[in-house]
Amino acid sequence: MSKKLIAFLLALPASAEIIYATSYNDHTVTSLKLDGSSLTRVSQNLDCGSEPTWLTLDKSKSVLYCLNEGWGGSSSITSYRTSASGTLETLDVLSVLKSPVASTLFANNSKLAVAHYDTSAFTTFSVADPTNLSLLGQQTYQLTAPGTVPERQDAPHLHDAILDPSKKFILVPDLGADLIRVFQVDDGAAAATAVTSIPTIAGSGPRHVAFAKAGRETFLYSFNELSNTISGYSVTYKRDAAPEFTRLFDVPSGGPGTTVPAGTKAAEIEVSPDQRFVIVSSRGENSLDIPAFDGEGTIKSDPLQVFAVNQQTGALTHVQTAPAGGRNPRGFSLNKAGTKLVSALQDDNRVVVYERDVRTGKLGKVLAHATVGSGPNNGPNYALFDE
């Protein structure tokens, strides 16, 4: 072990963890150190470009991929070498089609699949050498006519890319086309081929999806931005063919019988590491009053909604409405143990870490918080534990 590495390890207490947060308004990837109740900025990096958003971590290689939405039109992927101290070393920056919004590693972390919102595209990249990213495949979609919600469904808008539990298929919800597009991982030049697509409820606008693997059952949950509902599907695998998806239910984001104010926009969905809970974030509700983080009075918060997954049927039971920690919780992540949740509050320039009870699935008290971003709105939009 080199002297330099030992110095870094000593500088970071054993209990400390690194969290990365992306922010639009200050154009940074911020590395935060979480140590007990303290969350402090340890470094900031500007190489992800003008509008850093989604992060994908390859912990085995200590490589972090950052997508730049590039609202002005210049979009990119940046690869970073991570370090125990939190500082990021830029390895490569590759120009890509406009508005990449989410990505997933596949093919044993040698390739990256990306969903593009404005340009209605699905793209794949070789990241086998993270210092030399290269485009593999690019598929662009069209609509013959606008969808049920014409102002949002003027064109296909691909919003997420996730690898299924078999690691053979990539699912890409298309908010504009009311479809979940399914790609099969293959050895061809493009690395993944479209095999089927799952029609969603007209006008639902699927934004993000997450799998739950419960014993021998597999369920898929789609969080729908336009209808503010969660659709549940059972997933049946048939040897190497594309899995079959059967829609089981569609429930409002706050649970059966609830409604959301006009202007609410469903955002993120995560399944807990033990596959027993679904958590979603809802933007624009301002429905909760929580103690202000500076200690003066109260502030408005959007909710995180927690549901328990019936391990046999995939049905969801609402268990908690918890504060997201402020306004516009576009992105949040759980740690691997499921004991913490980090929430990025886009309209409050704040990142908050909540404790989580693994047994009940409920979110608890604020563990730590930090200011990330500067200026009005469009601050931190995604946060991820380095693990």
Ligand X SMILES: *[C@@H]1O[C@H](CO)[C@@H](O)[C@H](O)[C@H]1NC(C)=O
Q: Which of 132, 258, 317, 374 binds ligand X (CB under 6 A)?
A: 132
Question: Smallest gap, in angstroms, from Cβ of residue 21 to ligand X?
Answer: 27
Neighbouring residues of 272: CB distance < 8 A, sequence distance ≥ 6: 278, 279, 334, 338, 358, 361
Nearest distance in Å: CB 77, ligand X: 14
Query: Which residue, 129 or 244, is less far from ligand X as judged by CB?
Result: 129
Touching ligand X, residues 42-61 (CB under 6 A):
60
Q: Does 236 bind ligand X (CB under 6 A)?
A: no
C-beta closer to ligand X: residue 131 or 258: 131
134 binds ligand X (CB under 6 A): yes
- Is 37 a binder of ligand X (CB under 6 A)? no
Q: What is the rounded CA–CA span in Å between residue 210 and residue 232?
A: 10
Q: Supply the minimum distance, in Å, between the C-beta of residue 56 and ligand X.
A: 16
Closer to ligand X by CB, 6 or 128: give it: 128
Least separation in angstroms between residue 73's CB and ligand X is 25
**Which 8-state DSSP code applies to residue 167?**
S
Whole-Å CA distances, 267 to 22, 159, 175? 16, 10, 12
CB atoms within 10 A of CB 157: 27
Q: How many residues bind ligand X (CB under 6 A)?
A: 4
CB of 308 to ligand X, least distance (A): 34
- Residue 158 CB, nearest distance to ligand X (Å)? 24
State the nearest-atom distance from the C-beta of 337 to ligand X, in Å: 23
125 versus 183: smaller Cβ distance to ligand X? 125
| Binds ligand X (CB under 6 A): choice among 108, 142, 144, 312 | 108
Q: Are 36 and 21 in contact (CB under 8 A)?
A: no
- 74 touches ligand X (CB under 6 A): no
Complex with ligand X: residue 60 or 144, whichever CB lies closer: 60
Is position 140 an interface residue for ligand X (rule: CB under 6 A)?
no
- Type of residue at 234: S
142 binding ligand X? (CB under 6 A): no
Hey, is 279 helix, strand or coil? strand
**Residue 189 within binding range of ligand X, rule CB under 6 A:** no
- Under the criterion CB under 6 A, does residue 374 sit at the interface with ligand X? no
Question: What's the CA gap between 200 and 247, in Å, rounded?
Answer: 9
Long-range own/partner contacts, residues 57-65 (CB < 8 A, 24 or more apart): 57/20, 57/82, 57/384, 57/386, 58/105, 58/109, 58/127, 58/130, 59/386, 59/387, 60/109, 61/109, 61/130, 63/91, 63/127, 63/130, 64/20, 64/29, 64/88, 64/386, 65/103, 65/105, 65/112, 65/127
Nearer to ligand X, 170 or 251 (CB): 170
Residues 316-345 that bind ligand X (CB under 6 A): none
Instruction: State which residue, 19 or 114, has the beta carbon closest to ligand X.
Output: 114
Contact between 67 and 102 under an 8 Å Cβ cutoff? The reply is yes
Query: Which of 110/311 has CB closer to ligand X?
Result: 110
Contact 82, 88 (CB under 8 A): yes
Q: Considering the complex, state which of residue 38 and residue 134 has its C-beta at the smaller distance from ligand X.
A: 134
Question: What is 68-117 written as a DSSP string?
Answer: E--TTS-EEEEEEE--TTS--EEEEEEEESS-EEEEEEETTTTEEEEEET
Q: Which residues bind ligand X (CB under 6 A)?
A: 60, 108, 132, 134
